[in-house]
Amino acid sequence: MSPLLEDRTAVVTGAASGIGRAIAHRYAEEGADVVVADIREEPRSGGLPTHESIRTETDADATYCECDVREIDDLRVAVEAADEFGGVDTMVNNAGVTGPIEPFHEASVEAYERARATLLDGVFYGSKVAATKMLTDETEGVILNVSSALGVEGYENQVAYSGMKGGVRLFTYSMAADLGPQVRVNAVLPGLTETAMSGEDAGMIDTPVEAEFWQNTPLGRTARPREIADGAVFLASDMASFVSGESLLVDGGLTNTG
C-alpha cells in the first residue's frame, strides 16, 4: 500500500512541539516532505528538533523555518521554503497559544489581543499566503486549520480561546466556498490533548479541569497528539478527496454527548 501523502509537501505551523509536531511526523511517515514552521526550533519536551527527528526516523525530508504566525511575511517565507521540495501542497495552520483562562470581566485586553493575533490572525495569514501560492501554481491543494472542541460550544473562563477557535471554524467554511474546486479546506477540532502547552502553560493537565473533561468524555481520557494527527492525515489525503468545508471533531465524544 502506497503512503497516503506520497510526493506531497506540507507546511505545518507550530510544529516544534505538541499537536503540530505529531502532525509533521505523521505526514512524514505517510510520505510527505515537511516545512517545520515555528517561532522556536527546540521542542518544549526536549529531544531532537522536529525536522531532525523526521530525517532520522522516516524516509521523508524536512526543513526548519523560523516563523511567527503573527507576521504575514514570516508565513510567506515558510511557504516559499516548500519550493525546496516542489512547492506547497498542504498548509496546516496549527500554531497556538492558550487564551487567558479567567472570567471574561477579568481578562485583560492585552491577553485577548495576544490570543487573537496567533489563533485567528495567524490562520488568516497562513491560509491567504498558501492559497495564493496554490492558485498561482495551479496546485490541487489542501488547507487544514486546527480549531478546537472549545470552538463549538462556549466554556467557562475560556471566552478568548473559545471565541477565536470558533472563528477558525467559520474561516474554514468560508474559505472552502471561495477556494473550491481547486483547494479543499477543512478543520480538525481536538479535545483536551496531552501536550506541554495544555499542561505547563494552561495548567489543565493533571488538574481538576482535566478530571472534569474526563468525566464528560465518553472515552474517559484526554487525547494523545498522534490521535489528532491521524485525523489530520485523513483530511489531507485522497481518502478525503470529496471532503471540504468540514470540521472533524477528535474529542472522544465530548462535544456531542454532553
pLDDT at 221 over 90: no
Tens digit of each residue's pLDDT (9 = 90 or more) over 27-79: 999 999 999 999 999 998 889 999 999 999 999 999 999 999 999 999 999 99
pLDDT band at 157 (very low <50, low <70, confident <90, very high): confident
The span from the CA of 171 to the CA of 187, in Å, is 9
State the average pLDDT over residues 227-254: 97
Average pLDDT, the chain: 91
Of 229 and 258, which is predicted with more confidence?
A: 229
**List of residues 6+ apart from 54 with CB closer than 8 A:** 24, 25, 28, 34, 36, 60, 61, 62
Measured between alpha carbons, how far is residue 23 from residues 41, 74, 182 in Å?
A: 16, 20, 23
Which active-site residues does the annotation give? 161
Is 70 exceeded by the pLDDT of residue 199? no
Residue 92 has pLDDT above 70, yes or no: yes
Task: Show the domains of the chain with their CATH numbers.
Answer: 9-194+226-247 (3.40.50.720)
Higher pLDDT, 196 or 217: 217
pLDDT of 204 over the 90 cut: no
State pTM to two decimals. 0.93
Residue 103 burial (C-beta neighbours within 10 Å; 0-12, 13-18, 19+): exposed
CB neighbours (10 Å) of residue 120? 18
Position 196 confidence tier, pLDDT thresholds 50, 70, 90: low
Does the pLDDT value for residue 158 go beyond 90?
A: no
Torsions phi, psi of 71, nearest 5?
Answer: -115, 115
Per-residue pLDDT tens digits for 119-138: 999 999 999 999 999 999 99
Peptide bond into 181 cis (omega under 30): yes
Q: Is pLDDT above 80 for 197?
A: no
Average pLDDT value for residue range 84-106: 91
Residue 202 clears pLDDT 60, i.e. is over it:
no
% of the chain with per-residue pLDDT over 90: 74
Written as nine digits, the cell of 140 is 490541487
Instruction: Give the burial string for 205-238 (b: 16+ CB within 10 Å, else e).
Output: beeebbeebeeebeeeebbebebbbebbbbbbbe
Residue 181: band (very low, low, confident or very high) from pLDDT cuts 50, 70, 90 = very high
For the chain, percent of residues with pLDDT exceeding 70: 92
Residue 214: pLDDT band (50, 70, 90) is low
Residue 116, number of CB atoms within 10 A of its CB: 17
Nearest to 205 by CA among 214, 231, 99, 114: 214
Do 78 and 131 form a contact (C-beta atoms < 8 A)? no
Per-residue pLDDT at 148 exceeds 70: yes
Place 258 in a pLDDT band, splitting at 50, 70 and 90: low
